[in-house]
């Protein structure tokens, strides 16, 4: 077996699925694009998705000429509820995207039942949810296709990277044909990625975290290092030339290595997530209901705050690596979203949450300082 095959078999063994239905890509968004393309989605078709996502998600739809149709989220689960989705179904709807937001899932079975009763495809965006379960089944195993991300902060990381699982038999041969047309990432990009993975493993320490994070964001916005998103992807809706790329051996090698320790990490995330949730509940702060906890992989713990900027600064002083994801309906793009056909005033819950959300780390060994930080800043939490 070569490295890529071993990587695919490591993933399929974990999920308990057939290796031939697992495919790997340079990024998660490429897996989504491939699934949509295999569904023959294009001009005149509509794809329903939450109005609280990453901009690269509607990009994949728009690159194919289809129209993204957004729905507002539910404030507790941060996911789009079945009722909101049903209201947006039209004769043009070809696919519904179900998203695990920060690992949370909501009404997945109901949405799949609704879609199949109308002959509509489903794709689960499990970029935050690898290893989490819904009604006892791993996230991503119930929809026609699902995709996972292995980008820096995801459940397990290969620097950047994406995985597609294809459940629907009718889509399998189309996806294999499309995969034959994937480009290889350039030697330069693979070398940069190799260096970044090395730097994250051996250089990124608590004291250097914020400096290196800012440096990485700056360099990737200038296109000088392999970044999560290119300038083209966050400034407009034109598909970048080097978009449709397969996974490199560096990603396969790293994935095989980190997946060996994955069970330990997910257990730690769950334990820490439950601890934070209990604290939130006992202090009358926004917390997750019992049914959401059962499903949750606790990639991060979502928290709503009165003033995000000052809360993030206070966390930095306390050396807590707090996240600022989803600061807009289509993270990280703020302001006018009309290029992506999204009118923010139509989605008030996503608006409110995007103004207040930060996320707490769950993969840290010693939670004491995080808990002390929460105690000290409890009046700033909602």
* Residue 362 binding ligand PLP, by CB under 6 A: no
Residue nearest to ligand PLP (CB): 28
Q: Is residue 158 classed as helix, strand or coil in its secondary structure?
A: coil
Residue from 103, 129, 159, 162 in contact with ligand PLP (CB under 6 A) = 162
Q: Which stretch binds ligand PLP (CB under 6 A): 2-10, 22-30, 190-198, 364-372?
A: 22-30
Q: Which is nearer to ligand PLP, 93 or 149 (CB)?
A: 149
Q: How far apart are CA 130 and CA 111, in angstroms?
A: 19
Contacts of 230 (CB under 8 A, 6+ apart): 223, 240
Residue from 4, 11, 22, 27 in contact with ligand PLP (CB under 6 A) = 27
Residue from 149, 157, 158, 297 in contact with ligand PLP (CB under 6 A) = 149
Supply the angle between the helices 187-202 and 249-260 in degrees, to the nearest 10.
30
Closest contact distance (angstroms) between CB of 148 and ligand PLP is: 8
Specify the long-range contacts of residues 169-177, CB closer than 8 Å, at least 24 apart: 171/35, 171/38, 171/39, 171/144, 171/145, 172/20, 172/21, 174/38, 175/23, 175/34, 175/35, 175/38
Are 8 and 38 in contact, with CB atoms under 8 Å apart?
no
Closest contact distance (angstroms) between CB of 295 and ligand PLP is: 16
Closest contact distance (angstroms) between CB of 379 and ligand PLP is: 30
* Residue 29 binding ligand PLP, by CB under 6 A: yes
Residue from 55, 56, 171, 374 in contact with ligand PLP (CB under 6 A) = 56
Other beta carbons within 10 angstroms of residue 185's beta carbon come to 23
* Residue 297 binding ligand PLP, by CB under 6 A: no
Rg of the chain, C-alpha, whole Å: 20
Positions in the binding site for ligand PLP (CB under 6 A) = 27-29, 53-54, 56-57, 99, 125, 127, 149, 151, 162, 228
């Amino acid at each position: 077996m070569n490295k890529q095959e071993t990587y695919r078999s490591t993933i399929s063994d974990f999920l308990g699925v057939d290796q031939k239905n697992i495919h790997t890509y340079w990024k998660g968004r490429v897996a989504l694009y491939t699934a949509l393309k295999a569904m023959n989605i294009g001009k005149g078709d509509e794809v329903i998705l939450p109005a609280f996502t990453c901009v690269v998600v509607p990009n994949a739809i728009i690159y194919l000429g289809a129209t993204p149709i957004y729905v507002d989220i539910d404030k507790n689960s941060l996911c789009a509820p079945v009722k909101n989705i049903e209201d947006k179904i039209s004769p043009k709807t070809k696919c519904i995207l179900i998203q695990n937001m920060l690992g949370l899932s909501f009404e997945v079975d109901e949405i799949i039942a609704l879609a199949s009763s109308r002959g509509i495809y489903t794709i689960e965006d499990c970029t935050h949810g690898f290893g989490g379960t819904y009604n006892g089944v791993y996230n991503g195993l119930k929809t026609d296709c699902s995709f996972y991300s292995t980008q820096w902060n995801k459940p397990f990381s290969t620097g950047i990277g994406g995985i597609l699982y294809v459940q629907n038999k009718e889509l399998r041969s189309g996806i294999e044909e499309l995969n034959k047309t994937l480009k290889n990432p350039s030697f330069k990009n693979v070398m940069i990625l190799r260096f970044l993975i090395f730097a994250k493993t051996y250089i990124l320490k608590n004291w250097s975290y914020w400096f290196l994070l800012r440096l990485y964001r700056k360099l990737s916005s200038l296109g000088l290092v392999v970044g999560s998103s290119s300038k083209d992807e966050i400034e407009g809706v034109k598909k970048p030339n080097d978009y449709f790329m397969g996974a490199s051996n560096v990603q396969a090698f790293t994935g095989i290595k980190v997946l060996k320790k994955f069970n330990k990490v997910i257990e730690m995330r769950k334990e820490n997530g439950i601890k934070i949730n209990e604290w939130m509940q006992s202090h009358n702060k926004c917390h997750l209901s019992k049914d959401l906890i059962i499903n949750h992989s606790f990639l991060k713990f979502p928290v709503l705050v009165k003033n995000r900027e000052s809360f993030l600064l206070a966390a930095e002083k306390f050396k807590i690596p707090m996240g600022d994801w989803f600061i807009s309906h289509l993270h990280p793009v703020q302001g006018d979203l009309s290029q992506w056909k999204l009118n923010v005033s139509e989605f008030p819950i996503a608006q409110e949450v995007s103004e207040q959300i930060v996320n707490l780390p769950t993969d840290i060994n010693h939670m004491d300082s995080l808990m002390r930080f929460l105690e000290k800043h409890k009046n700033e939490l909602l």
